[in-house]
Amino acid sequence: MLYLAVLIGIISIVITDKLTQAFKLSSIWGPFGQICASLVIIMVGKLEVSYINLGNHFELGYLTIPFTLLFLVGFTNVMNIEKMQNPSILLLPFISLVCFSMSAFIIGNSFVLITGICASLTIMFILLYGYFSGKAFVGRTLTTSIGFVIAVLSISLIKISIITIYIPIFTLAIPFTLYYFIKDKFTSIQSIKVSTLTAILFGVLMFIVPFHLMWYFVVGLTIILIITQFSRKYRFI
């Protein structure tokens, strides 16, 4: 049912975005579609975070659905694109999805592994099509759909270990924030290259640094990321 829930959620996001653009509706309809898609994941896919394991077992209780909903909607918007972008920007979620797939393979989570591989191959096809045809452009509908898939995969792994929140934050959110930070100082391609190398670096660190030390990276760099969210220019939530 979780695979079906993801498909329904993506369709809901795409339809909402297309209708909003076609009829020039209020931008509030975008988040509304994302909330509906997230509720499908929670209610139909039965995917939620009911506890957090930080050494001690913290039960979320009545906050389970609000926390899961906030997480899903927040990370669905991790690639907050307003204008058409060079398709090379998809290298960032591609790296993140590869990290998800590798982690799922190690942990033994078949849903994340299969979904991550399928999403990675889809992005690779779009990148190759854009490279050879020169016609592919990346817009908000596509990046929101990719963000939704990444959010679902994140929730799936966080149920196993909270440390896996490292993947969406440090292989996508921070590199993408870096891209917006430097894109006015360099060309678009140069900014994408720097951000991509940063994502690869963080991805490699995840498989080198011991998990008990990784938590310090998560806490420290998350604080830095939260500070950047006070500026609308670098905000993704």
pLDDT tens digit sequence for 80-130: 776 667 788 899 999 999 999 999 998 889 999 999 999 999 999 988 887
Please report, as a single letter, which amino acid is at residue 191: S
Distance (Å) of CA 223 to CA 125, 172, 218, 226: 35, 16, 9, 5
pLDDT grade for 7, boundaries at 50, 70 and 90: very high
Span 57-78, pLDDT tens digits: 677 777 888 888 988 998 898 8
Q: What was the pLDDT predicted at 116?
A: 94
Q: What is the pLDDT of residue 148?
A: 94
Q: How confident is the model at residue 237 (pLDDT cuts 50, 70, 90)?
A: very low
CB-facing half-sphere around the CA of 216: CA atoms within 13 A: 5
Query: What is the model's pTM?
Result: 0.86
pLDDT at 233 over 60: no
pLDDT tens track for 121-171: 999 998 888 777 767 677 788 889 999 999 999 999 887 877 788 889 889
Q: Regarding beta strands 56-59 and 51-54, do their DSSP bridges make them parallel or antiparallel, or are they unpaired?
A: antiparallel
